[in-house]
Amino acid sequence: MLNSFIFVVMPYAALALLIFVTPYRFCSNRLTWSAYSTQFLERDTLFWGINPWHYGILPVLAAHFLGVVFPAPMKAFLGNQNNLIIFESISLALGLFALFGCVLLLLRRVNTPILKKVTFAADWVLLYLLAAQALSGVYVATFMRWGSQWYLHTAVPYLWSLMTFNPQIEYVADFPLVFKLHAAGAFLIVALLPFTKLVHLLYMPFRFLMDPPILYRWRSK
Amino acid sequence: MTKPTQVSERRLLDGGEDMDVRAQLVMVFNLDKCIGCHTCSISCKNIWTDRKGAEYMWWNNVETKPGVGYPKKWENQDLFKGGWLRENGKLKLRALGKGPTLFNMFFQPNMPKLDDYYEPFDFDYSNLYKAPPGSDQPVAEAFSQVSGERMEEITNGPNWDDDLSGSQIYAANDSNLEDRTLVEDYGRMFMQYLPRICNHCLNPACVASCPSRAIYKRGEDGVVLVDQEVCKGWRFCTSACPYKKVYFNWQSGKAEKCIFCFPRTETGQCNACAHSCVGRIRHVGVLLYDADRVEEALLQPDNELVAAHRAVILDPCDPKVKEAARMNGVTEQWLEAAEKSPVYSLIKEFGVALPLHPEFRTMPMAYYIPSLSPVISSGADLHELALHGTIPLLEKLRAPISFLASLLSGGNQEVIAEALQKLIALRVYKRAGNLGQPVPESTLKEAGLDEAGADKLYRLFTIGGYRERNVIPTQQREEQDSYQRKGASGFGILKKTRSLK
């Protein structure tokens, strides 16, 4: 029951929300489409929170995607024991870095009075959720060793089975609870993305990188 | 208006001479007439920034010079890294290139913080009648407009160093001031006002710094705007602007800036700040410029930048310029306004209006006529003054030329002296005329003026009416599809930003 909920209902519900709500929000009201930075109001703690968080979580997230998109090359690469040890160590370090940043950001929201008026329920939900996600990730990395390797043989085929609308939850059904919570957290984050400030993740810098520096708009266009 | 035609097409039509002529709405400030009343700031605030998250924004503000300005020390680019630098024959943003920008999106290293402005406050007036009976007179206590918390002590404000208050802390730290001891010397001290709006630059650093590409320059009138739908609050514009005229709205999470009152200017009305100006110090009008020569002009050394500015600005009466402008879709009404433009006269024809900090290399399109400051008036000097008919000599002005040059000409003192000389000559000439005395012919000539020019300047500075000081052509909305135009306007913005708490 729990398995079907976490590994079948949640991912499809999250995906559906992401696919349908995001364009709806984009088209209906982009005035709320912002990263909602609070750097203007408080910057000293933010520096030590926001940088570890982003520089920690982005490579870890990228590694998760890399495993899904290129399972075969990743298997070959991590088949080498040295590679595996180095990869795992770096990932765990980055995970701890992100966790540290996230907890600091959470404490900052609690302890900075001037942020009271710009902190909404969604901010609390996201901060706790992301901290829990980072914590469960670090736990898995520490106590369920060589995750980068077994991930490729369990979660990756499961995720592929999701995409082919033939969910095979037996790949992941027998994992300990903490892994399941980590998966559930991931789907929850995807589900919340279109509703919260997480939409800032959908930023693509192509125009910024390619355009000439000064942008003109003519009325006739 | 249509998009500018391709360069090759343009070449064919203007006989090989390549010009990309565009129109720009420009404001000129006559500092001699500014009395520092802040009426402009108030009218601007009432119309545009009387909102949650915008309390601290002063799209128009008036600073006392010498002083550190608003936000504090905005002129110090070592602090906020605004504007452009020359590097290997090219212009680049002083702050961050495109790659480093993307790696600094989480924490913008140069962004001014709330304390660089001030924590906006209001007063709890309800306490005046709600306070319980007691032996003390109830007061309206201050509270923060950000947190809502009570503020024991107000330690900062939008114009904290007004009229040289706290001059040892503020005026002494003006980066334009060569000799800081001047602030301590009552006999040599001087003071001027500097009203500032967004300069709507020809090479805006805020536009170039925006990773979302939300800031743009309008092709038709050159107004620089932030598209609130596209802005995602990455905050690079707030520091890239060397004038610190892009503000971060902490409530909506987006950047905002002066919009040059475009809803007013589009219908031919003056900007709220210029309209309400008590001293009538402001002139608004059209300049035609060659967009192809902007970058080349900005690569000149600091002390030649004023000349480079003037070279980019084109003569609106030149038929070739007009033809090239028409090619770019500039309408007849705009060309006519450009010919009558008071700002063209002040900036290029007479060269009395100068750009604010041209060395930031954004090519600002707000120009300032330097003021004739008080004279140094010790006993002996008074005698010399009388010799000159009470109009001071250039050398006797209190504000050091080096100070004005640092502010308005990239350090070029000759340019300042020329402008001041013209203003002095104009006064000598008009005073003599009023008293029926003969004017020495050399007075005007030496300053580079003639009688017709002096009379024109005199009219602009004094008795010229609203439509003479401001020549603002309307946007030709009738060219747009009327069905869409009517259907798409009238209700304002119905969508909401993040709800208030």
Q: Which residue has the higher pLDDT, B391 or A69?
A: A69
- The Cβ of residue B431 has, within 10 Å, a number of other Cβ atoms equal to 14
CA B360-B365-B369 angle, to 5 degrees, is 95
The answer to whether the Cβ–Cβ distance between B235 and A213 falls below 8 Å is no
Residue B375 has pLDDT above 70, yes or no: no
Residue-level pLDDT at B475: 84
Residues of B in contact with A217 (CB under 8 A): 216-219
Averaged over B208-217, what is the pLDDT? 95
| Band (B1; pLDDT cuts 50, 70, 90) | very low
H helices of B289-390, in order, are 294-298, 305-312, 319-327, 332-339, 342-344, 379-387
Nearest 10 degrees: Cα torsion A61, A63, A64, A66 = 120
Which domains, and CATH codes, for chain A? Answer: 2-210 (1.20.950.20)
- B495 → closest Cβ in A29, A43, A213: A29
What pLDDT is stored for residue B389 in this prediction? 61
Q: Taking residues A185-214, what's their average pLDDT?
A: 94
Measure Cα distances from B496 to A142, B229, B500 in Å.
45, 11, 10
Q: What is the mean pLDDT of chain B?
A: 89
Residues of B in contact with A37 (CB under 8 A): 108, 233-235, 248, 253
* DSSP assignment letter at B159: T
Q: What is the pLDDT averaged over residues B327-346?
A: 94
Report the C-alpha gap between B252 and A37 in whole angstroms: 10
Which of B146, B234, B495 faces A41 most closely, judged by CB atoms?
B146
Residues 6 or more apart whose CB falls under 8 angstroms from that of B29 comprise B195, B281, B282, B366, B367, B368, B369
By percentage, how much of chain B surpasses pLDDT 90?
Answer: 73
Answer whether residue B4 shows pLDDT above 60.
Answer: no
Position B380 scores a pLDDT of: 61
Provide the H-helix boundaries in B234-286. Answer: 236-240, 262-265, 272-276
B492 pLDDT higher than 70: no
CATH code of the domain occupying B16-64+102-108+184-478: 3.30.70.20
Which residue in this structure is represented by tokens 């088209």?
A27
* Interface with A, mutate which of B106, B223, B298 (most A CBs under 10 A): B106
Residue linked to tokens 């206590």 = B141
Strands B121-124, B246-249: pairing kind: unpaired
Mean pLDDT of A192-200: 95
Contacts of B7 (CB under 8 A, 6+ apart): B18, B20
Question: What is the distance between the alpha carbons of residues B365 and B75, in angstroms, rounded to a whole number?
Answer: 17
Reply yes or no on whether the pLDDT at A221 is more than 80: no
* Residues B106-117 as b or e (16 or more Cβ within 10 Å = b): bbbebbbebebb
Give the span between the Cα atoms of B54 and B255, in whole angstroms: 10
Confidence of residue B497 (pLDDT cuts 50, 70, 90): confident
Token output for A1? 């029951």
CB atoms within 10 A of CB B332: 12
Pairing of strands B21-30, B282-290: antiparallel
* pLDDT > 70? residue B14: no
CA atoms within 13 A on the CB side of A58: 10
Eight-class DSSP state of B185: -
Whether B113 and A43 lie within 8 Å, measured CB to CB: yes
Cα–Cα distance for residue pair B344/B338, rounded to 1 Å: 8
Residues of chain B contacting A61 with CB distance shorter than 8 Å: none
Reported as a single tens digit per residue, the pLDDT across B314-328 is 999 999 999 999 999
How far apart, in whole angstroms, are the C-alpha atoms of residue B24 and residue A101?
Answer: 47
Please answer yes or no on whether B113 and A40 come within 8 Å at the CB atom.
yes
Helices (H) and strands (E) in chain B, counts: 21, 15
Look at B397 and A75; give whichever has higher pLDDT: A75
Residue B349 confidence (pLDDT) above 70: yes
The stretch B154-172 carries a mean pLDDT of: 89
How far is residue B224's CA from residue B258's CA, in Å, rounded to a whole number? 8
pLDDT of residue B18: 79
- State the best of A112, A198, A216 to mutate against chain B, taking most chain B CBs within 10 Å: A216
C-alpha angle B53/B68/B108, rounded to 5°? 50
Query: What one-letter code names the amino acid at A211?
Result: D
Quote the pLDDT of residue B15.
44
Rounded to an integer, what distance in angstroms lies between the CA atom of residue B435 and that of residue A213?
Answer: 56
What number of other Cβ atoms are within 10 A of residue A209's Cβ? 12
Nearest Cα neighbor of B41 from B230, B330, B276 is B276
Confidence at residue B16, expressed as pLDDT on a 0 to 100 scale: 44
Q: Which of B372, B395, B403 is nearest to B180 (CA)?
A: B403
What does the alpha-carbon distance between residue A147 and residue A92 come to, in Å, rounded to a whole number? 10
Closest by Cβ to B208, choosing from A29, A40, A213? A213
C-beta atoms surrounding B86 within 10 Å: 14
Radius of gyration for the alpha carbons in chain A, expressed in angstroms and rounded? 19
pLDDT digits (tens, 9 = 90+) for B252-304: 999 999 999 998 999 899 999 999 999 999 999 999 999 999 999 999 999 99
Please check whether residue A170 is in contact with residue A96, taking contact to mean a CB–CB distance below 8 angstroms: no
The torsion angles phi and psi of A208, rounded to 5 degrees, stand at -60, -40
- Residue B358 CA from chain centroid, whole number: 12
Distance CA B218, CA A32 (A): 24
A5 DSSP assignment: I
Residue B189 has pLDDT above 60, yes or no: yes
Mean pLDDT value of segment B16-31: 89
Q: What is the mean pLDDT of residues B136-148?
A: 92
Q: Which chain A residues are within 8 Å of B213, Cβ to Cβ?
A: 207-208, 211, 215
Cβ contacts (< 8 Å) between A114 and chain B: which residues? 114, 144, 146-147
pLDDT class of B184 with cuts at 50, 70, 90? confident
Residue that is written with structure tokens 């500097």 in the block: B194
3-state secondary structure of B109: coil
Task: Give how far Cα B198 sits from Cα of A94, A203, B102, B201, B363, Å.
Answer: 43, 28, 26, 8, 12
Contact B111 A40 (CB under 8 A): yes
Alpha carbon distance B222, B242 (integer Å): 18
Sort out which chain A residues have CB atoms less than 8 A from B493's CB and list them. 31
pLDDT digits (tens, 9 = 90+) for A69-121: 999 999 999 999 999 999 999 999 999 999 999 999 999 999 999 999 899 99
Chain B contact probe: residue of A24, A25, A32, A39 with most B CBs at under 10 A:
A39
Identify which of A3, A18, A11 has the alpha carbon closest to the alpha carbon of residue A160: A11
Among B354, B400, B403, smallest CA distance to B374 is for B400
